[in-house]
A and B are shown apart, each in its own frame.
Chain A
Amino acid sequence: AQTVTQSQPEMSVQEAETVTLSCTYDTSENNYYLFWYKQPPSRQMILVIRQEAYKQQNATENRFSVNFQKAAKSFSLKISDSQLGDTAMYFCAFMKLPQGGSEKLVFGKGTKLTVNP
Protein backbone atom coordinates (compact mmCIF):
# COMPACT_ATOMS: atom_id res chain seq x y z
CA ALA A 1 0.00 0.00 0.00
CA GLN A 2 1.10 3.52 -0.67
CA THR A 3 1.71 6.03 2.10
CA VAL A 4 2.29 9.76 2.00
CA THR A 5 4.06 11.60 4.79
CA GLN A 6 4.07 15.32 5.42
CA SER A 7 6.37 15.98 8.34
CA GLN A 8 5.51 19.65 8.86
CA PRO A 9 2.11 20.06 10.52
CA GLU A 10 2.36 23.84 10.43
CA MET A 11 4.51 26.44 8.74
CA SER A 12 4.49 30.18 8.42
CA VAL A 13 6.10 32.60 6.00
CA GLN A 14 6.23 36.32 5.51
CA GLU A 15 4.42 37.78 2.55
CA ALA A 16 6.61 37.93 -0.58
CA GLU A 17 9.05 35.35 0.75
CA THR A 18 9.58 31.77 -0.38
CA VAL A 19 8.53 28.68 1.50
CA THR A 20 9.02 24.96 0.85
CA LEU A 21 6.65 22.27 2.02
CA SER A 22 7.97 18.72 2.32
CA CYS A 23 6.40 15.46 1.26
CA THR A 24 7.75 11.95 1.10
CA TYR A 25 5.96 8.85 -0.07
CA ASP A 26 6.40 5.15 -0.15
CA THR A 27 5.46 2.96 -3.07
CA SER A 28 6.69 0.00 -5.05
CA GLU A 29 5.17 1.41 -8.22
CA ASN A 30 7.40 2.80 -10.92
CA ASN A 31 4.84 4.95 -12.69
CA TYR A 32 2.49 7.19 -10.77
CA TYR A 33 1.30 10.74 -10.30
CA LEU A 34 1.93 13.15 -7.46
CA PHE A 35 -0.19 16.15 -6.61
CA TRP A 36 -0.33 19.11 -4.30
CA TYR A 37 -3.81 20.23 -3.32
CA LYS A 38 -4.67 23.43 -1.50
CA GLN A 39 -7.54 23.60 0.96
CA PRO A 40 -8.29 27.19 2.01
CA PRO A 41 -10.59 27.99 4.92
CA SER A 42 -13.53 27.59 2.54
CA ARG A 43 -12.60 23.87 2.65
CA GLN A 44 -12.73 23.27 -1.12
CA MET A 45 -9.84 21.18 -2.41
CA ILE A 46 -8.05 22.88 -5.26
CA LEU A 47 -5.33 21.31 -7.38
CA VAL A 48 -2.13 23.34 -7.24
CA ILE A 49 0.28 21.26 -9.26
CA ARG A 50 0.86 17.74 -10.48
CA GLN A 51 3.87 15.69 -11.49
CA GLU A 52 4.10 12.56 -13.58
CA ALA A 53 6.74 10.21 -12.20
CA TYR A 54 8.06 9.37 -15.66
CA LYS A 55 8.92 13.00 -16.28
CA GLN A 56 12.29 14.10 -15.01
CA GLN A 57 11.49 17.77 -15.38
CA ASN A 58 9.99 19.36 -12.30
CA ALA A 59 6.50 20.78 -12.77
CA THR A 60 5.95 24.51 -12.49
CA GLU A 61 2.76 26.55 -12.27
CA ASN A 62 3.41 30.27 -11.94
CA ARG A 63 4.68 30.82 -8.37
CA PHE A 64 4.42 27.13 -7.52
CA SER A 65 7.08 24.60 -8.36
CA VAL A 66 8.06 21.17 -7.16
CA ASN A 67 11.30 19.40 -6.46
CA PHE A 68 10.66 15.80 -7.43
CA GLN A 69 13.34 13.35 -6.37
CA LYS A 70 12.14 9.95 -7.53
CA ALA A 71 14.94 7.90 -6.05
CA ALA A 72 14.48 9.55 -2.68
CA LYS A 73 10.68 9.42 -3.03
CA SER A 74 10.47 13.07 -2.20
CA PHE A 75 8.09 15.66 -3.63
CA SER A 76 8.39 19.11 -2.11
CA LEU A 77 6.39 22.20 -3.04
CA LYS A 78 8.01 25.60 -3.31
CA ILE A 79 5.87 28.69 -3.17
CA SER A 80 7.64 31.83 -4.33
CA ASP A 81 6.54 35.38 -3.60
CA SER A 82 4.03 34.15 -1.02
CA GLN A 83 0.70 35.94 -0.93
CA LEU A 84 -1.89 36.24 1.81
CA GLY A 85 -4.23 34.16 -0.33
CA ASP A 86 -1.81 31.26 -0.13
CA THR A 87 -2.83 30.75 3.49
CA ALA A 88 -4.36 27.28 3.48
CA MET A 89 -3.89 23.64 4.28
CA TYR A 90 -1.70 21.93 1.68
CA PHE A 91 -2.04 18.24 0.99
CA CYS A 92 0.39 16.08 -0.89
CA ALA A 93 -1.27 13.20 -2.72
CA PHE A 94 -0.23 10.08 -4.59
CA MET A 95 -2.02 8.21 -7.31
CA LYS A 96 -1.01 4.98 -9.01
CA LEU A 97 -0.98 4.99 -12.77
CA PRO A 98 -4.47 3.99 -13.85
CA GLN A 99 -4.77 0.65 -15.58
CA GLY A 100 -7.80 0.94 -17.81
CA GLY A 101 -9.76 2.88 -15.26
CA SER A 102 -8.98 5.33 -12.55
CA GLU A 103 -7.25 5.27 -9.23
CA LYS A 104 -7.90 6.83 -5.87
CA LEU A 105 -5.83 9.58 -4.34
CA VAL A 106 -3.82 8.79 -1.22
CA PHE A 107 -3.31 11.90 0.86
CA GLY A 108 -0.82 12.99 3.46
CA LYS A 109 -1.95 14.59 6.70
CA GLY A 110 -1.40 18.09 5.39
CA THR A 111 0.66 21.15 6.25
CA LYS A 112 -1.09 24.25 7.51
CA LEU A 113 0.59 27.25 5.90
CA THR A 114 0.07 30.74 7.21
CA VAL A 115 1.29 33.74 5.22
CA ASN A 116 1.86 36.71 7.48
CA PRO A 117 1.61 40.31 6.28
Chain B
Amino acid sequence: EPEVTQTPSHQVTQMGQEVILRCVPISNHLYFYWYRQILGQKVEFLVSFYNNEISEKSEIFDDQFSVERPDGSNFTLKIRSTKLEDSAMYFCASLLGSYNEQFFGPGTRLTVL
Protein backbone atom coordinates (compact mmCIF):
# COMPACT_ATOMS: atom_id res chain seq x y z
CA GLU B 1 0.00 0.00 0.00
CA PRO B 2 1.40 3.43 -0.90
CA GLU B 3 2.53 5.56 1.99
CA VAL B 4 3.99 8.93 2.80
CA THR B 5 7.60 8.74 3.94
CA GLN B 6 9.65 11.29 5.85
CA THR B 7 13.35 11.66 6.52
CA PRO B 8 15.08 11.92 8.86
CA SER B 9 13.05 10.38 11.65
CA HIS B 10 14.93 12.48 14.20
CA GLN B 11 16.97 15.63 13.65
CA VAL B 12 18.98 17.37 16.32
CA THR B 13 20.30 20.84 15.55
CA GLN B 14 21.76 23.88 17.24
CA MET B 15 19.72 27.03 17.60
CA GLY B 16 20.25 29.31 14.61
CA GLN B 17 21.07 26.49 12.21
CA GLU B 18 19.12 25.71 9.08
CA VAL B 19 17.27 22.42 8.77
CA ILE B 20 15.51 20.75 5.89
CA LEU B 21 12.87 18.16 6.55
CA ARG B 22 12.04 15.87 3.67
CA CYS B 23 8.86 14.14 2.65
CA VAL B 24 7.96 11.88 -0.23
CA PRO B 25 4.19 12.05 -0.71
CA ILE B 26 2.13 9.34 -2.34
CA SER B 27 3.00 9.47 -6.00
CA ASN B 28 -0.30 10.48 -7.59
CA HIS B 29 -1.32 12.91 -4.87
CA LEU B 30 -1.74 16.57 -5.72
CA TYR B 31 -2.01 18.42 -2.41
CA PHE B 32 0.67 18.51 0.23
CA TYR B 33 0.76 19.71 3.80
CA TRP B 34 3.02 20.26 6.75
CA TYR B 35 1.72 20.10 10.31
CA ARG B 36 3.60 20.26 13.55
CA GLN B 37 2.97 18.93 17.01
CA ILE B 38 4.81 20.36 19.98
CA LEU B 39 5.22 17.62 22.57
CA GLY B 40 2.00 17.02 24.45
CA GLN B 41 0.03 19.52 22.42
CA LYS B 42 -2.34 19.36 19.51
CA VAL B 43 -1.39 19.01 15.89
CA GLU B 44 -1.23 22.41 14.15
CA PHE B 45 -1.43 23.25 10.49
CA LEU B 46 1.59 25.00 9.00
CA VAL B 47 1.16 25.15 5.25
CA SER B 48 -0.56 23.60 2.26
CA PHE B 49 0.91 23.37 -1.21
CA TYR B 50 -0.64 22.73 -4.61
CA ASN B 51 0.47 23.21 -8.17
CA ASN B 52 3.92 24.32 -7.05
CA GLU B 53 2.74 27.11 -4.84
CA ILE B 54 1.53 27.70 -1.33
CA SER B 55 -2.26 27.46 -1.05
CA GLU B 56 -2.57 28.50 2.56
CA LYS B 57 -0.26 29.12 5.49
CA SER B 58 -0.81 29.63 9.18
CA GLU B 59 0.49 32.36 11.45
CA ILE B 60 3.20 29.98 12.58
CA PHE B 61 4.59 29.79 9.05
CA ASP B 62 6.62 32.99 9.11
CA ASP B 63 9.57 34.11 7.00
CA GLN B 64 11.82 31.53 8.65
CA PHE B 65 9.88 28.74 6.97
CA SER B 66 9.75 27.77 3.33
CA VAL B 67 8.52 24.82 1.31
CA GLU B 68 9.29 23.52 -2.10
CA ARG B 69 8.86 20.52 -4.33
CA PRO B 70 12.19 20.54 -6.11
CA ASP B 71 11.96 17.43 -8.25
CA GLY B 72 8.31 16.42 -8.51
CA SER B 73 8.57 13.78 -5.81
CA ASN B 74 10.14 15.28 -2.70
CA PHE B 75 8.34 17.91 -0.66
CA THR B 76 10.59 19.80 1.73
CA LEU B 77 10.17 22.10 4.69
CA LYS B 78 13.08 24.40 5.42
CA ILE B 79 13.57 26.32 8.62
CA ARG B 80 16.25 28.94 8.02
CA SER B 81 17.32 29.79 11.55
CA THR B 82 15.93 27.39 14.09
CA LYS B 83 14.69 28.52 17.50
CA LEU B 84 14.22 26.49 20.65
CA GLU B 85 10.45 26.71 20.19
CA ASP B 86 10.71 25.00 16.81
CA SER B 87 11.34 21.73 18.65
CA ALA B 88 8.39 19.57 17.68
CA MET B 89 7.22 16.64 15.62
CA TYR B 90 6.71 17.67 12.01
CA PHE B 91 4.23 15.72 9.93
CA CYS B 92 3.90 15.75 6.19
CA ALA B 93 0.58 14.78 4.62
CA SER B 94 -0.67 14.35 1.10
CA LEU B 95 -4.06 14.22 -0.53
CA LEU B 96 -5.16 12.85 -3.85
CA GLY B 97 -7.83 15.48 -4.27
CA SER B 98 -10.91 13.53 -5.15
CA TYR B 99 -11.15 11.68 -1.84
CA ASN B 100 -10.69 13.91 1.11
CA GLU B 101 -8.47 11.81 3.28
CA GLN B 102 -5.08 13.20 4.13
CA PHE B 103 -2.43 10.51 4.45
CA PHE B 104 0.20 11.29 7.02
CA GLY B 105 3.85 10.38 7.14
CA PRO B 106 5.48 9.01 10.29
CA GLY B 107 6.86 12.40 11.25
CA THR B 108 10.26 13.94 11.90
CA ARG B 109 11.14 14.78 15.46
CA LEU B 110 13.11 18.04 15.46
CA THR B 111 15.11 18.90 18.56
CA VAL B 112 16.67 22.34 18.73
CA LEU B 113 19.37 22.75 21.37
| Interface positions of A (Cβ within 8 A of B) | 33, 37, 42-47, 50, 91, 95, 98, 101-102, 104-110
What CA separation (Å) do A104 and B107 show in the bound complex?
Answer: 17
Within the complex, the shortest CB–CB distance from B98 to chain A, in Å, comes to 10
A-B contacts, 28 of them at CB < 8 A, read A37-B104, A42-B106, A43-B89, A43-B109, A45-B43, A45-B93, A45-B107, A46-B104, A47-B102, A50-B100, A50-B101, A91-B42, A101-B31, A101-B50, A102-B48, A102-B55, A102-B95, A104-B45, A104-B48, A104-B56, A105-B35, A105-B45, A105-B93, A105-B102, A106-B45, A107-B43, A107-B44, A108-B42
Whether B100 and A33, one on each chain, are in contact in the complex, defined by CB atoms closer than 8 angstroms, is yes
Taking A45-B104, A104-B58 as given, write out 8 further A-B residue pairs in contact, using a Cβ cutoff of 8 Å, ordered by the A residue number: A42-B106, A45-B91, A50-B100, A101-B31, A102-B48, A104-B33, A105-B102, A110-B42
**Binary interface profile of B, 20-53, with partner A (CB < 8 Å = 1, else 0)?**
0000000000010101000001111100101000
The reply on B16 being an interface residue by CB < 8 A is no
What CA separation (Å) do A37 and B35 show in the bound complex?
Answer: 14
Q: Which residue of B lies closest to A43 (CB)?
A: B107
Within the complex, the shortest CB–CB distance from B87 to chain A, in Å, comes to 15
Main DSSP-derived SS at the A contact region = loop
Residues in A with CB closer than 8 Å to B100 are 33, 50, 95, 98, 102
The interface centre, meaning the residue of A45, A91, A106 with most chain B CB atoms within 10 A of its CB, is: A45
Residues in A with CB closer than 8 Å to B95 are 102
Contact pick for A44, options B31, B48, B107, CB 8 Å: B107
Whether B41 and A44, one on each chain, are in contact in the complex, defined by CB atoms closer than 8 angstroms, is no
Q: Which residue of B lies closest to A104 (CB)?
A: B45
What CA separation (Å) do A110 and B37 show in the bound complex?
Answer: 11
What CA separation (Å) do A33 and B44 show in the bound complex?
Answer: 17
A101-B104 contact in complex given A45-B91, A108-B42, C-beta closer than 8 Å: no
Q: Which residue of A lies closest to B58 (CB)?
A: A104
Whether A101 and B55, one on each chain, are in contact in the complex, defined by CB atoms closer than 8 angstroms, is yes
